[in-house]
Amino acid sequence: MKKISQFKHIIKLNTLTTREKEILHLIAKGKTDKEIADKLFISIRTAKKHRNNMITKIGVNNTVELVAFAVEEGEC
């Protein structure tokens, strides 16, 4: 059962784009949407959109759960 859970996490992680993984790493470091936008030369709206897309793709309910997923997967 544990292997199935690990496999599901790997699949979810692989659905993220390179940019989303980059942003996930920054979110996990506690960066705000504005800080992420400034660092990556994107708009705040785009940073928020990436965050929301990741929440949907991973199947979590909020940013806290998204960060917990990142920590579990070693993405931060």
**Tokens describing residue 24:** 């996930």
Q: How far apart are CA 67 and CA 29, in angstroms?
A: 9
pLDDT value of position 75: 61
Residue-wise pLDDT for 1-25, tens only, equals: 566 566 566 777 788 999 999 999 9
pLDDT value of position 63: 96
pLDDT value of position 8: 64
Residue-wise pLDDT for 37-66, tens only, equals: 999 999 999 999 999 999 999 999 999 999
Q: How far apart are CA 54 and CA 61, in angstroms?
A: 10
What is the value of pTM for the model shown? 0.84
